[in-house]
Amino acid sequence: MKQRCVPAAGCGDGIYDAAVIGAGLVGAAIAYGLGKSLAHVALLDEGDVAYRASRGNFGLVWVQSKGMGMASYGAWTLGAARLWPTLAAALLDETGVDVHLEQRGGLHVMLSEDEVRARVSFMKGLAAQPGMPAWGWRLLDRHEVADVLPGAGPDVAGAIWTDVDGAVDPLRLLRALHAAVSSGPVHYLPETPACSIAWGNGFFRVATPRGRIDARKVVMAAGLGNAALAAQVGLSMPVRPQRGQIIVLERSRPRLSVPLSTLRQMAEGTWLIGDSQQDAGLDDQSVGWDVLATLADRARRTLPALGQLNAVRAWSALRVMPRDGFPIYEQSALCPGAFVAACHSGVTLAAAHALKLAPMIAAGSLSQELAPFSTRRFHVQAS
Ligand SMILES: Cc1cc2nc3c(=O)[nH]c(=O)nc-3n(C[C@H](O)[C@H](O)[C@H](O)COP(=O)(O)OP(=O)(O)OC[C@H]3O[C@@H](n4cnc5c(N)ncnc54)[C@H](O)[C@@H]3O)c2cc1C
């Protein structure tokens, strides 16, 4: 098929400064950040058949479990959490959309003494790693938990408290990012999947069924779609789908002041129960009753009053899970100007993607801070 050029609104010589492939939370946050310094940015997205974690997640801005095995991920996550107020304020100012950011702390609740022992050992190991930032955590006993979580059930044996954790409304976040990019220098192109990427003469040519897009830089942020694209610019992208399920309970009066890692109350009063992790291939259509039953049972044991509320919805969605669980950010050595970004905590990291990663991409190189997130870590030979 002969390719024609997609009209580039206001794009001088017909070549964008950057094309971002994928308009989920990762791609939209990066495009938003690029739009602050580049004049012509294209943001391409697939059609509604796409697997999208960004429309089915839990919305936590979560620090307390991140970085075991890679302290720099703990530092990157903490940095993102600290940048979140800046991003939330900018989005409100530019779009009028309040993403409902709350960062008053968070709890990870344990339902037996065995769980307490295992979690405390995990937290001590996490904090003891060289290079791990100190953000402070505290083990609350069952009485202290009841102060933060009134009505906590008798099975609650303790909880880990940190004051760096929080949450946003993830659908409002996606909407705000899309609204912000649409009113700036970013040309949003829905229903425009990238089929292939070619490099030459100082720019990239992205082929789509609606024509071709030319750009000096290309950022692959296509979630599970990244693997096929990255290979075309000399990058590997070891990501797999990991299914998570969420139950929604009907709204009730506000009673949860901080989010738990597995339970939260939204601003309008509904409840989300979540945090399952399954390998289920690309199946995001079905929900597993056994998993839902476990989620519901743990939520009811945590807060017995939830047993009075009706479940109104449940869904599953696919996380974009790098092989070792840590983000991947890299520029291609073969085709400089081609970048990839993938992670499993795209809500938490959105502020870092918009305010730190995007400026690096705009400037043409990733800083040393991001060196640990290169795929070179997968190529180390065991001695
Ligand atoms: C159940 C669940 C709970 C979660 N909870 C949290 C949480 O509490 N906190 C947190 O930080 N994270 C959470 N996450 C993870 C978070 O949702 C993801 O990290 C984030 O949404 C990933 O965004 P993404 O843009 O990389 O991927 P996606 O949302 O999958 O978006 C990728 C986009 O790329 C597009 N695309 C694909 N291929 C192409 C192509 N060839 N051309 C053009 N476009 C393409 C698709 O259309 C899609 O819009 C959760 C995920 C799940 C599933």
Q: For residue 258, what is the DSSP state? A: S
293: three-class secondary structure by DSSP: helix
Q: In this predicted model, which residue has the larger pLDDT, 57 or 9?
A: 57
220 CA → ligand 1 middle, Å: 13
Q: Quote the pLDDT of residue 96.
A: 97
At 382, is the pLDDT very low, low, confident or very high (cuts 50, 70, 90)? low
213 CA → ligand 1 middle, Å: 23
Locate the ligand 1 atom nearest the alpha carbon of residue 208 and give its number. 42
Rounded Cα distance between 80 and 78, Å, is: 5
Domain ranges of the chain: 1-105+165-238+324-375, 239-322
Protein residue closest via CA to atom 3 of ligand 1: 57
Q: How, if at all, do strands 271-273 and 263-265 pair?
A: antiparallel
* Fold category of 1-105+165-238+324-375 in CATH: FAD/NAD(P)-binding domain (3.50.50)
Q: In this predicted model, which residue has the larger pLDDT, 219 or 290?
A: 219
pTM greater than 0.85 (yes/no): yes
Ligand 1, residues 26, 61, 66: which to mutate, most atoms within 8 A of Cβ? Answer: 26
Task: Please say whether the beta carbons of 55 and 223 come within 8 A.
Answer: no
Superfamily of segment(s) 239-322: D-Amino Acid Oxidase, subunit A, domain 2 (3.30.9.10)
pLDDT above 70: residue 124: yes
291: three-class secondary structure by DSSP: helix
Kindly report, residue by residue over 136-150, the tens digit of the pLDDT: 899 999 999 999 999
Closest C-alpha among 88, 147, 138 to residue 116: 138
Rounded Cα distance between 148 and 341, Å, is: 37
Strand order in the sheet with 311-322: 263-265, 271-273, 239-249, 311-322
pLDDT above 80: residue 282: no
Tokens of 247: 């139950």
pLDDT above 90: residue 184: no
pLDDT above 80: residue 3: no
At 297, is the pLDDT very low, low, confident or very high (cuts 50, 70, 90)? very high
Kindly report, residue by residue over 84-94, the tens digit of the pLDDT: 999 999 999 99
Q: Quote the pLDDT of residue 286.
A: 61
Distance between alpha carbon 343 and the CA centroid of its chain, in Å?
6
Q: Quote the pLDDT of residue 7.
A: 40
Closest C-alpha among 281, 297, 290 to residue 245: 290
222 CA → ligand 1 middle, Å: 8
At 5, is the pLDDT very low, low, confident or very high (cuts 50, 70, 90)? very low
Please compute the mean of the pLDDT values over residues 23-49 and round it to a whole number: 93
Locate the ligand 1 atom nearest the alpha carbon of residue 60 and give its number. 8
At 8, is the pLDDT very low, low, confident or very high (cuts 50, 70, 90)? very low
pLDDT above 70: residue 285: no
26 CA → ligand 1 middle, Å: 7
Task: Please say whether the beta carbons of 237 and 248 come within 8 A.
Answer: no
51 CA → ligand 1 middle, Å: 8
pLDDT above 80: residue 281: no
Rounded Cα distance between 35 and 39, Å, is: 7
Secondary structure string (H, E, C) spanning 312-374: EEEEEEEEEEECCCCCEEEECCCCCCEEEEECCCCCCCHHHHHHHHHHHHHHCCCCHHHHHHC
Locate the ligand 1 atom nearest the alpha carbon of residue 346 and give its number. 19
At 379, is the pLDDT very low, low, confident or very high (cuts 50, 70, 90)? confident
Mean pLDDT score of the chain: 91
Please compute the mean of the pLDDT values over residues 185-207 and round it to a whole number: 93
Give the binding-site residues of ligand 1, using a 6 Å CB cut-off: 21-27, 44-46, 50-54, 56-60, 62, 193-194, 221-223, 225, 229, 244, 246, 274, 317-320, 342-348
Q: Among the listed ranges 65-74, 312-321, 363-372, which one has the minimum average pLDDT value?
A: 312-321
Q: Quote the pLDDT of residue 51.
A: 64
